[in-house]
Structure 1
């Protein structure tokens, strides 16, 4: 194999590694974006559920008390 052929193979290998690095970088960005979206969705869910708890506390129906307990438990689980 000539020096030129070796150089071409080396350059192709470097390009391939760069492509893999770019793909991995995109995957990391995508994962970070998903984690951010997940955090935002959790925050919105907590706001909505806390609003439900606030409204339900004014209701004297016993089933609402159970619902409040369930929602509060769910909120604690989200925090973990």
Structure 2
């Protein structure tokens, strides 16, 4: 089964840029929606839970020219490096 870009886009509830400031605001609010940003061949998605707090991961999904998923990575959000 192939995963396409549109499959991953459907997961995003709130579109935000993957910046330090946006992660700072998200970390201090009681907001548990799935946030993400969409680029031409990449989608970043993040969601905090009551267990992760501000130390949640950002998942990066990379797509080929036909919008088929080719790579998935995760890393700690930019704000979590300072907490």
TM-score of the superposition, structure 1-length normalised? Answer: 0.24
Q: Which has the larger radius of gyration?
A: 1
Q: Pick the structure with more strand per residue.
A: 2
TM-score of the superposition, structure 2-length normalised? Answer: 0.24
* Higher RCO (Cα < 8 Å, 6 or more apart): 2
